[in-house]
Amino acid sequence: MSSKEQKTPEGQAPEEIITEQHDDVEAVESDASAEQVDPRDEKIANLEAQLAESQTRERDGVLRIKAEMENLRRRTELDVEKAHKFALEKFVNELLPVLDSLDRALEVANKDNTDMAAMIEGIELTRKSMLDVVGKFGVQVVDAIDVPMDPNVHQAIAMVESEDIAPGNVLMVMQKGYTLNGRTIRAAMVSVAKAKA
């Protein structure tokens, strides 16, 4: 009988027994190594956790910086827009006394005198031209009567009893006000109606 034909008492060939024993030894070794945690594996796990935390911090930092840059860009655009919108404010403030003088000249002019008619018409045209020009740049006159008094554009000088005008409405404009693109340059000085006592 050859060695291959020899059988073990269990009926297995010797190579099969060696392979099974080798598999059993590997299984026992892997069980033992699983119970023993390699310190290098712990260090690797710690380093991976630190790396993930670092990457998260960096990602958050980059997002925060991007958001700050976007906010800065928006604020800068708004500042430039406001600068363009209200650049004429000082210039318009210098024109207001001229407009007031033209208004006063028209108030005191004797409109019944035919000799003054041409001069009065010239003053009216000059005033209208100036208002048209400044109106192109966003200047609006605040001079309406019988509108609710708005503290943003009106400055109340007096309260006057009136039957014709509703209480709280503008009764009379003593000095016209002006706004530039919605911002009050000078509040209109007004008297406000109140109910009769």
User: Residue 1: pLDDT band by 50, 70, 90 thresholds?
Assistant: very low
Residue 91's nearest CA partner among 54, 49, 137 is 137
If DSSP codes are grouped into helix, strand and coil, which group holds residue 83? helix
* Domain spanning 89-194: CATH superfamily: Head domain of nucleotide exchange factor GrpE (2.30.22.10)
**pLDDT tens for each residue of 87-117:** 888 889 999 999 999 999 999 988 888 888 9
State the Cα–Cα distance between residues 44 and 196, nearest whole angstrom.
90
Q: How confident is the model at residue 174 (pLDDT cuts 50, 70, 90)?
A: very high
Decide if 157 contacts 123 (C-beta within 8 A).
no
Domain ranges of the chain: 39-85, 89-194
Average pLDDT, stretch 11-37?
A: 55
Q: pLDDT at position 20, please? A: 57
Is the overall model pTM greater than 0.85, yes or no? no
